[in-house]
Every structure is written in C-alpha cells, then in structure tokens.
Amino acid sequence: MERFNTDGMWIGLYDDIQGMMKDNTLSLEIGDTLLLYTDGITEAWKAGSVKDKRDPETEMFGNERLISILARMGATRPMI
C-alpha cells in the first residue's frame, strides 16, 4: 500500500484553480488499484455521534480505516 499526497487544490472554493495545480505522473502496473477520494469519506462522522461532543480521533471514518478496507478488498477483487 502506498499513499501519494496531491499537490495544490483539485476542487474547492475558487472558480479558476489552474494556477494552483501541478502536473504529476504516476505509473500503474497490471494488478494495481488506484483509489481517488475526497475528505468527505475520511471526515464522515460515525452514526450516532453527537454534535459538539464528538471525538475526531475515534468517531470519524478516518484514513486508517479507509486504507484497511482498501487493502482487504483489493486482495479479493476480481481481475478484469
């Protein structure tokens, strides 16, 4: 499992973000899996958590949980 952080802003609050992006290259090999996601998944709150009483360390979906699911599901995915 490798994580690559993006440079600049891909989407956001500005109409024109062209000056905020850089070109990068990433090579994928046969059998590799690429997951693109936004902070909407990693910052999702656990069901039943109470606003203003939530602990971000334990009640958000989080990066580690996403990585764990991808590692588990990536090993069982069918070949296309």
Residue 20 lies in a domain: no
17 C-beta neighbours (distance < 10 Å), count: 13
Please list, in sequence order, all residues whose beta carbon lies within 8 angstroms of the beta carbon of residue 29, skipping any fewer than 6 positions away.
none
**Domain around 38:** 29-74
Residue 18 lies in a domain: no
Instruction: Determine contact, residues 36/65, Cβ cutoff 8 Å.
Output: no
Q: How many domains does the chain have?
A: 1
Q: What is the pLDDT of residue 9?
A: 61
CA–CA gap between residue 74 and residue 31 (Å, rounded): 9
What would the pLDDT profile of 56-68 be if each residue is shown by its tens digit? 888 899 988 999 9
Instruction: Determine contact, residues 60/45, Cβ cutoff 8 Å.
Output: yes
pLDDT below 50 — which residues of the chain? Answer: none
Sign, CA torsion 46/74/78/42: positive
Residue 80 lies in a domain: no
Residue 19 lies in a domain: no
